[in-house]
A = this chain, B = another copy of it.
Amino acid sequence: MRMCENLPRRSMMTTQEVADKLVALCSEGKFPEAMELYSPDIVSMEAGAPPGESREAKGLAAVKAKGEWWNTNHEVHSVKVEGPLVAGAHFAVTFKMDVTFKPQGKRIAMQEVAVYKVADGKIVYEEFFYAM
């Protein structure tokens, strides 16, 4: 069965397909829907964290909770997603967002590079790069 193990499963998305889908969903502000592309074992890494907190969120429940906190606390005025650039199992995009951080009523121009890793058709790792 060794030969068969190396054949891609018909239903499994390629890195390019996952990347294109993520860009399409995020461009429309459909961040919760984009999480359907994530593996249960997703690891999500921020550029930094407040003192005593971790940069890393592990597992779909933790990453969804982080996303829900973000969605609850930000009003999104516009989203621009550029890319993807795809190389093997990895891809990169940029996010440029005009948001208001609701607790402070503060409007922010966010810019970040995001890198993703895909395994078995699902996103297993994401890391965000932005100025602290």
| Interface residues in chain A, defined as those with a beta carbon under 8 Å from any beta carbon in chain B | 82-83, 85-96, 111-113, 115, 117, 129-131
Contact = CB atoms under 8 A, between A and B. Distances in A.
Nearest to A95: B87
B113 A115 contact: yes
Number of copies of this protein chain within its complex: 2
Chain A to chain B: the 5 pairs with minimum beta-carbon distance, closest first: A92-B92, A88-B111, A87-B94, A87-B111, A90-B113
A111 B117 CA distance: 13
A131 B83 CA distance: 20
A113 B91 contact: yes
A14 to B, nearest CB: 13
Contacts of A117: 129
Given A115-B115, A115-B129, A129-B117, A85 B93 contact: yes
Nearest to A129: B90
B89 A94 contact: no
Contacts of A95: 87
Contacts of A89: 131
Nearest to A130: B88
- Greatest chain B CB density within 10 A among A87, A94, A111, A113 is at A87
- Greatest chain B CB density within 10 A among A85, A86, A113 is at A113
